[in-house]
Amino acid sequence: MSPLLLLPVAAAATWATPFPAGTYALRLETATLARVPVLGKTRGGSVSWLIGELAEDGGRAWVWRTCAVEMQGASGKARVALPPAFVSAMGAKQLDA
């Protein structure tokens, strides 16, 4: 699993905080190992892409929007897919610092 990486897409004024106001892309990886009845041990995970906005108004709140989710580790027995409408319905999440 790769480390968390924030990439500035468009940065505005510089703050005294580690991240200047602007738009950021976030790639989030998860990994799972589960025991599923009948199927046995199953390995999987997901890669999610999010766009984050950090406002210039002096606040420290991030607003994140999920753009895409890829499910990984599917075997020939079972597959998981998230339709685009489901990803769109996740909406925006605000995280206060």
CA distance linking residue 83 with residue 80, whole number of Å: 10
**35 contacts 41 by C-beta, under 8 angstroms:** yes
pLDDT at position 50: 92
pLDDT in tens, the chain (97 residues): 444 555 554 444 444 556 788 899 999 999 988 888 887 887 888 899 999 988 877 667 888 999 988 888 766 666 777 888 988 898 888 887 6
The H-or-E segment that residue 88 falls in is helix 84-89
Residue 13 DSSP class: S
Residue with tokens 């890829």: 70
**63 contacts 84 by C-beta, under 8 angstroms:** no
pLDDT at position 13: 45
pLDDT at position 58: 62
pLDDT at position 39: 77
